[in-house]
Structure 1
Amino acid sequence: MDCFNHSGVAAVGTCKCCSKGLCSNCATDLTYGLACKNQHESQVEAMNMIIENNAKMYAAAPKNTIIAPVFYLFMGLLFSGFGYFSGGGIVSLPFLMGLGFIVFAVVVFLRNRALFGNGENS
């Protein structure tokens, strides 16, 4: 592949932003990718930062999979208890909402386990 800007000059790589072939004079090495010199450095740096942050978030996700289900379970127990003990029994709206929260907690927990596993590998 030839350099996009200099025909006949071999490209050493491609710009991570625009994918054009670049020779050593036209490329800026940003450690995790090449960029067109004086054109795409900021875009490639932003892309690298996004990828790095996403990797950190994905690595932390298995540890955080229990937070939402515990919250929904707590709210379900709170609503159900209030609905039942306030005299409304099992047909009161708060009790039924609490059951909905509890079911949702189980669904979220199972979905998180399917996506991220047990979180024991971290």
Structure 2
Amino acid sequence: MKPFLYITQKNCPVLWMAITASPTTLVFDKEERSLNMKCFNHRDADAVGVCQSCHRGLCVDCYAEVGNLLACRNRCEEDVARWDFIAQKSVTAYSANYKIYLWTSVFLVVVALPFVVVGSFAMLNEPSSGIVALFIGFVFLLFSLVLFRTARKMR
């Protein structure tokens, strides 16, 4: 019986380049008909994960957990710790942006209300100046609505 999959440079050049350029060994299992990743350091052990810094396959003996990520033990832990720190900061910054967008939309409503009120009363006496004030007020309200909707999407 022939193997399920032949990967050669001729029939699949992109996959061939990816496999040969990778520091991890991929082995085709004929019985299970699947590709299994092996550990970079221990070629006989199956990989349980991939280092987030150098992208090498890691077995149980070679990996270290850094936050929510995997890294090569005693090799890439500092790099992955920096990536994890950046990811945690981005979560904090994202929640801060939500609050900023929300409070900015409230501020714009407060700024828009006097323009709308003054513009409405000015329309009674002098329509040209009233239209300008109403227009400015409605522009502020429109920006407030856009920021409020953006803040709700960020939640």
Q: TM-score, normalised by structure 2?
A: 0.52
Q: What are structure 1's unaligned runs of at least 5 residues? A: 118-122
Distance 1:53 1:7 in 2: 37
Q: Which residue of 65, 82, 85 corresponds with 1:49?
A: 85
- 1:103 matched to 2:139? The reply is no
The 3 A distance-change label for structure 1 pair 11 and 107 is: closer
**CA–CA distance in structure 2, aligned partners of residues 53 and 45 of structure 1:** 12
Q: Does the 8 A contact of 2:62 with 2:73 survive in 1?
A: yes
CA distance in 1, matches of 2:66, 2:110: 48
Q: Determine which structure has greater relative contact order: mean sequence separation of CA pairs < 8 Å that are 6+ residues apart, divided by chain length.
A: 1
Name the structure where strand makes up a greater proportion of residues. 2
Deviation at 1:97, TM superposition (A): 2.3
Per-residue deviation, 1:58: 4.7
Structure-2 change in CA distance of 1:102 and 1:53 (3 Å): same
Q: CA deviation at 1:6?
A: 3.1
Identity rate, percent: 31
Across the aligned residues of Structure 1 and Structure 2, the Cα RMSD in angstroms comes to 3.4
Gaps of 5+ in 2: 1-36
Return the match for 1:21 from 57, 61, 86.
Answer: 57
Q: Which protein has the larger Cα radius of gyration, Structure 1 or Structure 2? A: 2
Q: Normalising by structure 1, report the TM-score.
A: 0.63
